[in-house]
Amino acid sequence: MVGSVAVGGDAPVTVQSMTTTKTADVDATLAQIYALAGAGADIVRITCNDVAAAQGIAEMVPRSPVPLIADIHFQYKLALGAIEAGVAGLRLNPGNIRKEDHIKQVARAARDAGIPIRIGVNAGSLDKDLLEKHGSATPEALVESAMLEARYLEEVDFYDIKISVKHSNVPRMIDSYRLLSRTSDYPLHLGVTEAGPPPGGLIKSVAGIATLLSEGIGNTIRFSLTADPVEEAKAGRQLLEYLGLRERSDLDLVACPSCGRAEVDVIDVANRVNAALEGSGLPIQVAVMGCVVNGPGEAREADIGIAAGRGRGHLFIKGQVVRVVPEGAMVEALIDEAIALHEEGAEARLAKADVTAADLAEETRIELLGIQGDVNDTVIRRATVADVATKDT
């Protein structure tokens, strides 16, 4: 348990991020903590790099909306200070707190306080002896570092442990966690360290974290981006929702990639819808489709969407067209209907559908097929399939 948040076992995968403010600046750090919590972070880590930071933590703990973890490097006594300040957990780096006695002192204090410790192995700060032994920051070196630290903790009857073996190289990160999952049963904190700024940092993080989560490896995650940490929390939360590991808590916008068939600027419409609804707290999937020919059908799994056709926007709920509006009013109509859908539910909104909308949408679809042709050659392909399937051999 990290405060009130469970990590490991059957608990949902959680999202973490880390503040970038000076911890001694209590007001600025608390403001960022609240922003991270609002963006989907379940747990927030803050650096504890001096006495003033530890003192600031003591002020923040009772005011924080989420559990706080103190990030400790080099100075083990700051870990003791953070425990005294009331943190919900610690992160220790075995690469720079190396004395066994110091590690065990911290473990005893954490044990008595009833808080967990994350063993945070990082390829960039691996113990020099292990680097020399393995030649580089290999998966074997990272896992060996983690298990040596775990042994120190276990020797003082401390088992409330999480482990991370982060690497900036995605394949090595994946291999490290795979090896660790075969070696230990402790909960795992996933992350690609030093991933860099978006979009590259996002791609690296998703590649590593999603691969492992899809294999059932990992219990809590952090995107380590060179960006506003709020972006880390958003990305982490979205990833878990897209993987079906957490319930949707905010907008999920899907849109076609556009093509020559599109009747509107799909990119512009999608961006305007996203800007209006992102952060709205509406836990719905919204679709923006460029044409009415295939749009409602292709996006029938969406809660709500809109497709363009012949100067009009065809608004649909669960694939059923419910309203037809002028093209210039598409975005506003979609936003209004999305809010109403969330407040009233799909059945109520479908009951209020314009009875002529579906017929008008079908007329437009047929008209566009006549002008543009069927890009999928549906009629011809169906006939060919039937011919092959029934033909005598």
Confidence at residue 131, expressed as pLDDT on a 0 to 100 scale: 92
* Predicted pLDDT of residue 114: 97
Q: Do 215 and 295 belong to one domain?
A: no
Report yes or no on 367 lying in a domain.
yes
Same domain membership, residue 221 and residue 81: yes
**CATH number, domain with residue 226:** 3.20.20.20
Q: Which two tokens stand for residue 12?
A: 């949902």
How far apart CA 384 and CA 390 sit, in angstroms, is 10
Q: Which residues contact 338 (CB under 8 A, 6 or more apart)?
A: 277, 282, 284, 286, 303, 304
Question: What is the pLDDT, as a whole number, of residue 393?
Answer: 63
Task: Decide if 377 is inside a domain.
Answer: no
Query: Tokens 């990590």 label which residue?
Result: 7
Domain count, the chain: 2
What six digits make up the tokens of 348?
Answer: 């109520």
Which burial class, exposed, middle or buried, applies to 207 when counting CB atoms under 10 A from its CB (0-12, 13-18, 19+)? middle
Backbone torsion region of residue 105, taken as left when φ is above 0, otherwise alpha when ψ lies between -120 and 50, otherwise beta: alpha
Q: What is the pLDDT of residue 294?
A: 61
Residue of 122, 25, 123, 15 whose CA lies nearest to 69 = 15
**Domain identity same for 21 and 101:** yes
The dihedral region occupied by 170, where left means phi > 0, alpha psi between -120 and 50, and beta the remainder, is alpha
Domain match, 190 and 69 both: yes
Place of tokens 């090595």: 172
Start-to-end C-alpha separation, the chain? 66
Q: What is the CATH number of the domain that holds 306?
A: 3.30.413.10
Is residue 258 domain-shared with residue 237, that is, in the same domain? no
Average pLDDT by stretches of 10, the chain with 393 residues: 96 97 97 95 97 97 97 94 97 91 97 97 91 94 96 98 97 98 97 95 97 98 96 95 90 80 77 86 87 67 83 85 87 91 92 78 65 56 77 73
Q: How high is the pLDDT of residue 374?
A: 52
User: Is residue 389, in this structure, part of any structural domain at all?
Assistant: no
- pLDDT at position 248, please? 86
Tokens 């994350």 correspond to 118
* Domain, as residue range, for 194: 14-242
75, 202: one domain: yes
Residue 391 lies in a domain: no
Is the full-model pTM beyond 0.75? yes
Question: Which residues, other chains included, contact 13 with Cβ-Cβ below 8 Å and sequence gap of 6+?
Answer: 213, 218, 219, 220, 221, 240, 245, 246
| Gap between the Cα atoms of 307 and 324, Å rounded | 10
Residue 110 shares a structural domain with residue 47: yes
Contact of 204 with 190, CB cutoff 8 Å: no
